[in-house]
Amino acid sequence: MSLDRDFIVGLPKAELHLHLEGTLEPELKLELARRNGVDIGQTAIEEVRATYDFHDLTSFLAVYYPAMQVLVTEQDFHDLAMAYLRRAAADGIVHAEMFFDPQAHTDRGVAFSTVIDGLWSAVQEAPSLGVDASLIMCFLRDLSAESAMETLEASLPYRDRIVGVGLDSDERDNPPEKFSEVFSRAREAGYRLTMHCDIDQADSIGHIGTVLHRIGVERIDHGTNIVEDPALVAEARERGIGFTCCPLSNSFVTETMKGREIVDLLRDGVKVSLASDDPAYFGGYLVDNVVALAEGMDLTREDVARLARNSLEISWLDADRRAQYLDRLDRYVAG
C-alpha cells in the first residue's frame, strides 16, 4: 500500500503533546473576543494570522499567551476542547492526552474550577466522537516553583480528572531542577510525569539528563537533542522513555523540522511518537505532521505504523484500552 494520507488518517493513534490553548484557531479567537467583549486588537482573520510571526520559542510564546485572554467562561473552555476533539476524530486519533496551562488563566482571575469544569465536560463528551480523552496539567516554568506548588494544591480536589503533569513555557533560565520538589509532590499524589525539553535550548542535553535522572519522567516532550549523547539515547531506549516530537512546531521555532533526529531515534528503537503541539499556530494537526515528516524524510509504511504504535504504547491509557487499540492497529496494518 502506498503511503498516502488516507493510510495515515486510518491508523489508530494517540496524540500526546497537544496544548489545548494552542488549538485556538483565529475564527474561534475572534468569536470568543466578541462573545466576551475582549479587545484583542484584531477583528479579521487575516489580521490575527499576521501576528503569527515567530522565529523561536520566546517569540512564539509572546503571541501565544496574550491571546488566551479571550478564554473566560466555562463554556469557552468547553468549546475550545470540543473544537479540537472534532479535528482529532477526523485525524483518526483514538486517544488524546491534552495539555492545559491553568496558571495562564488563574493569573488573569479565571478560577481553576472554571477551567477544569469546562475542559472536563468536553472530555466526557469525547467518546461520542470516537475519541478517548484525558487531561495533563502543565506548570509554567517561567513562573515560580511556589506558584507551581500552589497550582498543584489547587488541582488535588480534581485529581481524578487529571492523568498527569507536565512543564511548559520558556525553558531559558528555567531548568527542570527548579521544579523537582513540585514534581515529586505530584508523583506522590499519583500523577504521571512528563516535561518539555524544548529544541536547541542552552544546555538542552543537561536538561534531558536531569529530567531522566533527577525528575524521573516517563516521557519527554520534544527532547530530540538527546541525539547529542549516545549514552543517554541508549538509556532512554532501555527504559522505554517516550518522546513526543512535533515536526511542524520544530520548523517554526528552529531552522528545520528536526526530521533526521526524529527518524534516527525512531529507527534506533527509541519510543518516538509524533504530535501537533500548537496546531492553530504551527500550520497543521497530527496527520499534517505525519505527512510532513513522511514526505520530508521518505518514511516507509513500517515507519509510520511504528510511530502510531509507539504513541499507543507510551500513552497513559489503562492496559486493557491500550491492548484494544494496539490490536485494532495491527489489524489495520495487516489489512
Of 223, 270, 217, the residue nearest 245 (C-alpha):
223
**Residue 168 binds ligand HPA (CB under 6 A):** yes
**Residue 21 binds Zn ion (CB under 5 A):** no
Site size with ligand HPA, rule: CB under 6 A: 10
**Residue 278 binds ligand HPA (CB under 6 A):** yes
Min dist. Cβ of residue 24 to ligand HPA (A) = 11
CA 139 to chain centre: 13
Min dist. Cβ of residue 222 to Zn ion (A) = 7
Nearest-Å Rg of the Cα atoms of the chain is 19
Amino acid at site 40: I
**Residue 277 binds ligand HPA (CB under 6 A):** yes
**Residue 105 binds ligand HPA (CB under 6 A):** no
What does the alpha-carbon distance between residue 104 and residue 7 come to, in Å, rounded to a whole number?
A: 37
Using the contact rule CB under 5 A, the part of the chain among 87-95, 229-237, 277-285, 315-323 near Zn ion is 277-285
Amino acid at site 199: I
Strand partners of residue 299: none
Min dist. Cβ of residue 247 to ligand HPA (A) = 12
**Residue 277 binds Zn ion (CB under 5 A):** yes
Min dist. Cβ of residue 230 to Zn ion (A) = 25
Q: In terms of CB distance, is 30 or 133 closer to Zn ion?
A: 133
What the block records as the C-alpha cell of 21 is 490553548
Min dist. Cβ of residue 61 to ligand HPA (A) = 6
Amino acid at site 334: A
**Residue 169 binds ligand HPA (CB under 6 A):** yes
Using the contact rule CB under 5 A, the part of the chain among 147-155, 254-262, 273-281, 298-306 near Zn ion is 273-281
**Residue 196 binds ligand HPA (CB under 6 A):** yes
Q: Give the angle subtended at the CA of 241 by the CAs of 236 and 242, to the nearest 5°.
A: 130
Q: Give the angle subtended at the CA of 182 by the CAs of 124 and 194, to the nearest 5°.
A: 55
The number of beta carbons lying within 10 Å of the beta carbon of residue 184 is 14
HSE at residue 297, side-chain half, CA atoms within 13 A, is 23
**Residues lying near ligand HPA in the complex (CB under 6 A):** 19, 22, 57, 168-169, 196, 198, 249, 277-278
